Structure 1
């Protein structure tokens, strides 16, 4: 088993970049809501470091959702999932490394810019983390 070829099987990658953007918006809303729910449990001190709290929540959310379904809730809503180079769903280690790469690219602006350009221009719609790890986001319905 391996990743689908974008030339011979383009249905696996059709509209993936746009779906990833919409999934990111959904995931951001979910992460902000989860972070706001946590704030009262910090005696509202979490408001002073809200962006740091949201970053931690984002990391945990992404690792858990990528491990359990190879897709965040936003990706599931958009019917896409991340697959490894063999075409399999991500395991805990792969989900952790993928999330670490995603977080690193957000921390270093040029890396995020490179990632966005790659998603918009590559045949598989891969971001920088995907290229490094050999993973790709694919249409879930096309896989079944």
Structure 2
């Protein structure tokens, strides 16, 4: 039986050295999932904005940034709460788990999404999150580090 280091005593997640298959390629898969999700969100927000713009004789077009933010928050929160993964993450075969190894609930999904969107709103937050994913043992971004979550390759169970 492998021994856990003091850093691992707080988590029931698969160990990154002993269960490498759970973390193999996850940063690249997260990047690809982000692109897929960004396209889904952009199309949905553009459609809502267009409809709202027509209904308000053009006023709704000015609200595109707010609609984009709202669409992103709802999409990410609801998909993560439902299956612990966004559609892009599902296509890439990854999902979020909390420190106990469980899928994320609605509150954790909303907190993760809020932190993610806050950090993605600045270049420094974006760079810090990407750097953390590349440099931490569990490939955790800043929201993951703050909440004790991580993305893993989806288990077969």
Map 1:61-76; keep pairs closer than 5 Å.
61-76=75-90
Q: SS of the residue aligned with 1:48? A: helix
Which of 24, 31, 38 pairs up with 1:21? 31
Greater length-normalized contact order (CA 8 Å, ≥ 6 residues apart)? 1
- Aligned counterpart, 2:4: none
Deviation (angstroms), 1:52: 2.3
Residue 42 of structure 2 contacts residue 68 of structure 2 at CA under 8 Å; is this kept in 1?
A: yes
User: What's the TM-score once normalised by structure 1's chain length?
Assistant: 0.93
In structure 1, runs of 5+ residues without a counterpart are none
Larger Rg: 2
User: What CA deviation, in whole Å up to 9, does each residue of 1:44-89 have, x standing for no partner?
Assistant: 4332232221111000100000000000000000000000010001
Alignment partner, residue 83 of structure 1: 97
1:138 is paired with a residue whose SS is strand
> Deviations for 1:112-132, whole angstroms, at most 9, x for unmatched residues?
211110111222111000011
| Alpha-carbon spacing, 1:136–1:143, altered in 2? closer, same or farther (3 Å) | farther
Q: Distance in 2 between matches of 1:41 and 1:47?
A: 9
Could you tell me how far 1:107 is from its partner in structure 2?
Answer: 2.1
| Partner Cα separation in structure 2 for residue 33 and residue 109 of structure 1 | 23
* Aligned residues between the structures: 143
2:5 corresponds in structure 1 to none
Aligned-CA RMSD value: 1.4
Q: Deviations over 1:10-40 (max 9, x none)?
A: 1100000000000000000000111122123
Residue 134 (structure 1) aligned to one of 139, 148, 151: 148
